[in-house]
Amino acid sequence: MDRETRREFEAYRRIEAGPVENTLIDELLDGEVDRKEFFRRATLFGLSASAIAGALAALGEAPIAFAAPEAVRAGGRLRVAIIPPPTKSLDPHTYADQGGLETGGIAGEFLTRATQSLTLLPELATSWKPNARASSWTFKLRPNVKFQNGKTMTADDVVATYKRLLGPDSGALSAFKGVLSASGIKKIDNLTVRFDLDTPTASFPYLTSSTTYQAIILPANYQNGTFEKTPQTTGAFQLTSYTPGVGAKYDRFPGWWNGRPPLDGVDVTYYSDDAAVTAALLGGQVDLIGQVQFATARPLFSNPNVQIFATRGATHRQVPMRVDLHNQLSDRRVRQAIALTLDRPRIIKTLFDNRADIGNDSPFAPVYPSTNKTVAQRHKDLRLAKQLMAAAGFSRGFAITLTTEKTGEIPQLAQIIQQSVKAIGIKMTLKILTATAYFAGSQTGGPGGLGNTPWLNTPMNITDWGHRAVPNVLLNSALQTGGVWNAAHYSNKRYDALVKSYTGAIALKDQLKYSKQIETILLRDTPVIFPYFYNYLAAGSKRVKGYKADALGQVYLSKTSLG
Amino acid sequence: MARFLLKRTAFALITLVLLSMIVFATAQLLPGNVGRNVLGGFADQRSVDLLNHQLGVDRPVYVQYGRWVGHLVHGDLGQSLEYKVSVSSLLGPALLNSLKLAALAFVLVVPLSILGGIVAALRQARTTDRVITVGGLSLTAVPEFVTAIVLIVIFGVAFKVLPTTAQAPPGAGFFTQVEYLLLPAFALVAVLFGYIARITRAGVIEALDADYTRTAFLKGLDTPTILRRHVLRNALLPTIAVVATQTGYLIGGLVVIETLFNYPGIGQRILIAAQNKDFTMLEAGVLIVGIVYLAATLIADTLYSLLNPRIRYGAAD
């Protein structure tokens, strides 16, 4: 680095950079994080491109090079298959299913966008900056962004959108509960919004990204029930027609702030059957399927005319075991024993042809940088499992029912678990419901506080969970005392305190310190088995260019073209 | 004849009223709570109760039924609970789609299977007869989803001569729509051919053995005339009854075919409404299919009586 650059960089550290930024830069200089991880964390904390370049130069690293964009053929309409269709009306803040998030996400945009490598890109926000404790975050908004109804986006629209996300009918409450309250959302000026958080949260910008799929920015005067009828998002495409359960049409939005997307438009067809959607791609009726599963769409994986878009992520299944029912499962040795019967490498080979990571019975997926990989992986160990069962007084086993939903590979996983626990004498009955029946009922109130819905109240079950860019929602909602999705009814004060420390930790080495303790506690208590985290898969014909699968399933098409 | 028709229509209307009661009662039997289902698991009980009150589903069943029928006779099918749009805007196009597919299947299967049945009867116990009856029965015995998948894989994926999905792009002309509907129609032909052909064959054989046919031969009439005037007129009676009952199935019962060919017909709408507990849609959908059934049966009865004076006069007695 020449003297001039060094002087500018030192000045930046002294004057502009706050404690958070300097912590990041120290981590890089001390060799605690590598270049890739530094880049990810720098985008999270909103460091400017020049600050990132300066820090990399200070370490003698080559500056970041951005690849020249591929020359694309403009024009054409992309035919996208979405499976399954949205089951409700399309108000973004209420999204709770894959069909809804994919349909809305084609037209909608967020303050920030999470990429495949878990970095954050500015979208409707241009920059963001925390205070020293990461308890308050200031977002600068992009000027001159037009909504598709002609209005220009201002801080009022962002404030109204976030207040809507905290309302009673929001689908994003699990993400924001305990993090953000309506009174903490403040307009500073026309293009600045500040979020004063309930708890210091170092990963807060992720909650404003495309991974909180309900957080599509809408005009302040948005009326419920109008998403289907009037285009009013900011994205590259506007929704021009929608027929529930049948399809949707999008046209290029000429007023898009980021120029002109290659495609003229997008035609979505909804499917509800795996065989039908597979045949549609193979038969040339669609160009792209938003989500495919290895277990149910095998013909696609061996066809030379199909490209599979894979993204490593944290999509997973949880097998919660209720700790509070005064049955065999309330003994943690029994829960450990059940977890020890699973041959995880074989499971991911069978169910995903190895397009998955093995889970270690905590939400810390291998894909997260904050996952502490020094904690030993749990392997199949029948001898230990039998010892634990004997010590718990159940050497002759017992009978139990596992309830679950008919979604993707879950019924097959249920059968594998049923077969595996036979080895320690457990006779498992499977009760496989439709997804609708499994998630039906209330999730609040009732004796356990979690309503009467099967997925939160059965002794043992399997539930599908989507990807998150950081494990916070999983740590909070699924495992904390009183968590809204705590299906195991798990409660451990030490765990709760550690999660709080982890959430507020800014330096990676602090996060790793806490994650190690959290992982260890969860392995000991095993309230939930996390057998695997699988790759998000999409499939398309060879004509589709410039598409990347998103780990959560967003269908982002502004760079996609038809070759 | 007029009296006969009047009587049949009156019976159909009574059946319709009974059907509406059964549909309504069945929907009430489905487990779960309407308001809870619409608002989701996180909503508090107060807002669930409020919505139930607004929708009127907390009132006694007979009051709800009365209101529902009141709206129905004014042509108002209500709002879909899940999609928040009018039920008729969803069921109307779906019914039209179902009618299109049913019409094509009907046009293909009825002449084909009647012809097959007649040929089989005339060549009774010979190879042609065996091929038609055994082949037809085998096709009927294969579940429709198997036939459908085989058709899709062969014509849609391997040779790519026909589209694998049944829904033509919007604004497609008549022939394009027919092209998109051919594969599912073939699947339906495979299901129905064996059945209708067998019934026709049995009727024709019986008529050929009848005294009046022998008399017709003996008095020197030529074979085509005998077939047309004496054999078919009698032989087709059971076939018409069978075809009529299958028409109802063709319009409302095609859930599997509609799902596999991703065709937004009324069967799929009813299935999804039942899964999502979208009561208004479910009730209206089942009722519409019921009306179609009744209409088809009424038409069949009328045809039957035109061909068979015994029914006509028997009814007039």
| pLDDT band, very low/low/confident/very high, at A46 (cuts 50, 70, 90) | confident
Within 8 A by CB and 6+ apart from A416, the residues are A342, A347, A350, A351
Give B84's contacts in chain A (Cβ within 8 Å): 89, 225
pLDDT at A530: 98
Inter-chain contact A276–B264, Cβ cutoff 8 Å? no
Tens of pLDDT, residue by residue over A212-233, are 999 999 999 999 999 999 999 9
CA closest to B33 among chain A residues:
A441
Residue type, A528: V
Average pLDDT, chain B: 87
Q: Is B160 helix (H, G, I), strand (E, B) or coil?
A: coil
Give A243's contacts in chain B (Cβ within 8 Å): 90, 93, 264
CA closest to B83 among chain A residues:
A89
Tens of pLDDT, residue by residue over A437-486, are 898 888 888 888 888 899 999 999 999 998 888 899 899 889 999 888 99
Give A436's contacts in chain B (Cβ within 8 Å): 275-277
Among A14-23, A511-520, B98-107, name the one with the lowest average pLDDT. Answer: A14-23
Q: How far apart are CA B102 and CA B157, in angstroms?
A: 24
pLDDT at B42: 66
Give B90's contacts in chain A (Cβ within 8 Å): 243-245
* Residue numbers of A between 390 and 429 with CB closer than 8 Å to B: none
Inter-chain contact A282–B80, Cβ cutoff 8 Å? no
Task: Tell how far CA A83 is from the center of its chain.
Answer: 18
Q: B82 at the A interface (CB within 8 A)?
A: yes
Tens of pLDDT, residue by residue over A537-563, are 999 999 999 999 998 889 999 999 998
Inter-chain contact B44–A444, Cβ cutoff 8 Å? yes
Nearest by Cα to A89 from A245, A280, A237, A195: A245
CA closest to B87 among chain A residues:
A244
Average pLDDT value for residue range A516-542: 97
Tens of pLDDT, residue by residue over A336-361, are 999 999 999 999 999 999 999 999 99
Average pLDDT value for residue range B226-233: 86
pLDDT at B44: 74
Q: How far apart are CA A68 and CA A420, in angstroms?
A: 51
Nearest CA-CA distance, residue B250 and chain A, Å: 20
Mutate to test the interface with B, among A95, A442, A450 (most CBs of B within 10 A): A442
Q: Is the pLDDT of residue A148 over 70?
A: yes
Tens of pLDDT, residue by residue over A79-123, are 999 998 998 889 999 998 889 999 999 999 999 999 888 889 999
Q: Is the pLDDT of residue A422 over 60?
A: yes
Nearest by Cα to A347 from A416, A253, A268, A436: A416
Give B88's contacts in chain A (Cβ within 8 Å): none
Query: To which residue do tokens 């699968």 refer?
Result: A549
CB distance B22 to B66 below 8 Å? no
Q: If you average pLDDT over each of A67-81, A240-254, B39-53, B273-287, which comes out highest?
A: A240-254
Cα distances (Å, whole numbers) of residue B83 to A248, B17, B277? 14, 28, 12
Q: B171 at the A interface (CB within 8 A)?
A: no
Among A27-36, A164-173, B30-39, B140-149, name the one with the lowest average pLDDT. Answer: B30-39
Q: Which two tokens stand for residue A178?
A: 């305990």
Q: Is the pLDDT of residue B309 over 80?
A: no
Nearest CA-CA distance, residue B25 and chain A, Å: 20
Q: A484 at the B interface (CB within 8 A)?
A: yes
Average pLDDT value for residue range B24-31: 78
DSSP secondary structure of A468-503: -SSTHHIIIIITSTT-TT-TT----HHHHHHHHHHH
Q: Provide the Cα torsion A281, A284, A288, A289; round to 10°.
A: -20
Q: How far apart are CA B69 and CA A278, in angstroms?
A: 42
Q: Is the pLDDT of residue B232 over 50?
A: yes
Average pLDDT value for residue range B16-21: 90
Question: DSSP class of residue A375?
Answer: S
Inter-chain contact A285–B32, Cβ cutoff 8 Å? no
Nearest CA-CA distance, residue A290 and chain B, Å: 16
Tens of pLDDT, residue by residue over A273-294, are 889 999 999 999 999 999 998 8
Nearest CA-CA distance, residue B265 and chain A, Å: 10
Inter-chain contact B82–A88, Cβ cutoff 8 Å? yes
Nearest CA-CA distance, residue A247 and chain B, Å: 10
Task: Tell how far CA A296 is from the center of its chain.
Answer: 22
pTM of the model: 0.87
Q: Is the pLDDT of residue B17 over 70?
A: yes
Inter-chain contact B32–A441, Cβ cutoff 8 Å? yes
H or E stretch including A337? helix A332-340
Nearest CA-CA distance, residue A315 and chain B, Å: 22
Q: B26 at the A interface (CB within 8 A)?
A: no
pLDDT at B169: 85
Q: B41 at the A interface (CB within 8 A)?
A: yes
Inter-chain contact B152–A279, Cβ cutoff 8 Å? yes
Looking at the partner chain, which of B42, B149, B264 has a beta carbon nearest the beta carbon of A275? B149
Q: B220 at the A interface (CB within 8 A)?
A: no
Q: B268 at the A interface (CB within 8 A)?
A: yes
Regarding predicted confidence, which is higher, A22 or A235?
A235
Nearest by Cα to A281 from A546, A552, A537: A537
Regarding predicted confidence, which is higher, A494 or A5?
A494
Q: A223 at the B interface (CB within 8 A)?
A: no
Give B272's contacts in chain A (Cβ within 8 Å): 87, 245, 272
pLDDT at B317: 44
Q: A243 at the B interface (CB within 8 A)?
A: yes
Within 8 A by CB and 6+ apart from A161, the residues are A93, A215, A216, A217, A218, A220, A222
Inter-chain contact A88–B262, Cβ cutoff 8 Å? no
Among A24-33, A518-527, B262-271, name the one with the lowest average pLDDT. Answer: A24-33
Give B163's contacts in chain A (Cβ within 8 Å): 283, 285
Average pLDDT value for residue range A14-43: 81
H or E stretch including A42? helix A35-44
Regarding predicted confidence, which is higher, B284 or A173?
B284
Inter-chain contact A280–B149, Cβ cutoff 8 Å? no
Tens of pLDDT, residue by residue over B233-252, are 888 888 888 888 788 788 87
| pLDDT band, very low/low/confident/very high, at A66 (cuts 50, 70, 90) | very low
Q: Is the pLDDT of residue B183 over 90?
A: yes
Inter-chain contact A243–B93, Cβ cutoff 8 Å? yes
Chain A with chain B: Cβ pairs closer than 8 A: 112
pLDDT at A60: 66
pLDDT at B235: 86
Number of H helices, E strands in chain B: 15, 0
Inter-chain contact A445–B82, Cβ cutoff 8 Å? no
Q: Is A168 helix (H, G, I), strand (E, B) or coil?
A: coil
CA closest to A271 among chain B residues:
B262
Q: A167 at the B interface (CB within 8 A)?
A: no
Give A269's contacts in chain B (Cβ within 8 Å): 165, 167, 262
Average pLDDT value for residue range A506-518: 94
Q: Is the pLDDT of residue B68 over 80?
A: yes
Question: DSSP class of residue A154?
Answer: -
pLDDT at B39: 73
H or E stretch including A248? strand A247-252
Q: Is the pLDDT of residue A381 over 80?
A: yes
Tell me how crowded residue B37 is: count the other CB atoms within 10 A of its CB.
22
| pLDDT band, very low/low/confident/very high, at B316 (cuts 50, 70, 90) | very low
Nearest by Cα to A296 from A349, A242, A249, A352: A352
Tens of pLDDT, residue by residue over A309-326, are 999 999 999 999 999 998
pLDDT over 90 percentage in chain A: 72
H or E stretch including B119? helix B87-122
CA closest to A270 among chain B residues:
B262
In terms of phi and psi (left: phi > 0; alpha: psi -120 to 50; beta: otherwise), the region of A219 is beta
Average pLDDT value for residue range B76-86: 87
Give A440's contacts in chain B (Cβ within 8 Å): 32, 36-37
Inter-chain contact A245–B268, Cβ cutoff 8 Å? yes
